Amino acid sequence: MVSLQAKNVMKYVVPTILSGVCFFMFTIIDAVFVGRGVGTNALGAMNLIGPFVMIVGAFNMLINIGGVSIFAVCIGKGDVEGANKVFRHGMFLLLCVSLILCFAGVFFSDSICTMLGAGETYHHLAKEYLFWYSLFIIPSALSTGLQNYCRNDGAPGLVNIAVIISTVCNIFGDWLLIFPIPWGTKGAAIATGVSQTIGLFVILTHFIRKQGIIRFSKIKLEGGLLRDIVTHGLPEGISQLATPVMMFCMNMVLLDMVGDLGINSFSIICNIASFSMAVFFGASEGLQPLFGQSYGAKNEKDLKFYFKAGMGISFLGSIFINILVVFFSRHICVLYGADEVTQEYILKVLPQFAVGFIAMALNVMISSYLYSTERTVQAISISILRSIIVNAAVILILPYILGEGIIWLTLLIYETIVFVVALVLLKQSEKNGITFK
């Protein structure tokens, strides 16, 4: 007979993984339509401004995860008033940050593209996508934030519906604004923004129907609570920076050592990595409410069960993705409209890059477990190592020592180093059992 814990894992993790995959499908679908409808250089342009898009996601994740991790603990303690206070402060902070990022992307798109290395071949295409993407940062951020809170408020199914509807709208919009209406990268960005705005309206029905416990109302801002949200979300926010930092460093090395072939190939490989990350982060976000609620209720047995389940899902999921990569690499290249030279290069290097997903998946789950159980220092340490220090050092140094061939193994190298450190920190923090605060 299936245990209650196993049922909870299925209830929260499966919809969250599906939602995460659908969310990342926005970028993947954009890339497919752009690659086939505009060209390989347009894909390269989107890859070059990818770090900015990922940084926006990192800030959103920092605020969202920081808020919902505290929110889940309040739910576990039965503190409805405290949970609502966290929700309102979290959404206020998210709105403020998204306003700043929107302003930066709209008014400084040219400078941002130049800073990210978009030269003559890519600059116009990159700037066009970045400008129109930035116009929709606010509704996109609010949609993502509300989805996180609604998932913790007992509505993972509605979240799943919202993301699926958004994804379907995005597919139609990409087709419409790239083929019948040839707007190129601008069309892809507009389609993404409009579809995420539609997702926002869908998720707002949770509040219109007054389901769950969270409600919008006036708030009296508390600096301490805002600080707590940022502190609790810092590990995940920093962890999210791993991708833009990796992309930026890889782009710089590839431009220098491989040229346009490396950039265009990496643009397709990055989309495969985005899909993989959707599975890993979906699993960790799905288990986060269970981690937080078990911790708030001081239920060590359930907490350990959920962590073991999360590690198992992450390991098996990453293995499965590697198998898919081996068998379907050429089909993926054709899907994105890659030319023959780009295809052959990707077929050679993609398996080397994808094997790093295994260690990455485990690191993401350990970090989620630690920050959800009030071990913020350990979680931040892991996130800083894999997102800022070790990844940048490995990518920017090793290829110039060992040659071009090591470039595509750098993900495996730095994620493995971080995994060893993460295990040590985890064992040390639990050598006398889990400490409940």
- Residues 335-344 have pLDDT tens digits of 777 788 888 8
- Residue 434 domain-assigned? no
Buried-state track 303-315, b at ≥16 Cβ within 10 A, e below 16: bebbbebbbebbe
160-179 average pLDDT score: 88
pLDDT at 202 over 80: yes
pLDDT value at residue 193: 92
pTM above 0.85, yes or no: no
pLDDT value at residue 437: 66
- Residue 336 domain-assigned? yes
339 token code pair: 């030319």
- Residues 311-333 have pLDDT tens digits of 998 898 889 888 888 788 888 88
Cα(360)–Cα(274) distance, rounded to whole angstroms? Answer: 12
CA distances from 11 to 92, 196, 378 (A): 29, 24, 28
Beta bridge partners of 433: 431
Domain count, the chain: 1
- Residues 48-107 have pLDDT tens digits of 887 888 788 888 888 988 888 788 778 777 888 888 899 999 999 999 999 999 999 999
CA distances from 274 to 130, 243, 270, 377 (A): 18, 9, 6, 27
Contact in structure between 234 and 380 (CB atoms under 8 Å): yes
- Residue 230 domain-assigned? yes
- Residues 10-59 have pLDDT tens digits of 877 777 777 666 666 666 777 778 877 887 788 778 878 878 887 888 88
370-373, long-range: CB within 8 Å, 24+ apart, which pairs?
370/235, 370/425, 370/426, 370/429, 371/65, 371/69, 371/232, 371/233, 371/235, 371/236, 372/69, 372/72, 372/287, 372/288, 372/291, 372/292, 372/295, 373/291, 373/292, 373/295, 373/303, 373/434
- Residue 339 domain-assigned? yes
- Residue 125 domain-assigned? yes
DSSP assignment of 105-163: HHHSHHHHHHHTT--TTTHHHHHHHHHHHHHTHHHHHHHHHHHHHHHHTT-HHHHHHHH
pLDDT value at residue 27: 67
Task: Collect all residues with Cβ–Cβ distance below 8 Å to 92 and sequence separation of at least 6.
Answer: 219, 221
- Residue 318 domain-assigned? yes
Q: Which domain holds residue 201?
A: 4-429
- Residue 437 domain-assigned? no
- Residue 39 domain-assigned? yes
- Residues 230-289 have pLDDT tens digits of 888 777 777 777 777 888 888 889 989 988 888 888 888 887 777 777 777 778 877 877
Helices (H), 38-122: 40-48, 50-77, 80-107, 109-115
* Percent of the chain surpassing pLDDT 70: 96
- Burial group, residue 194, by CB count within 10 angstroms (0-12, 13-18, 19+): middle
Quick one: which of 185, 193, 202, 69 has its CA closest to 141?
193
Tokens 């007054």 -> residue: 210
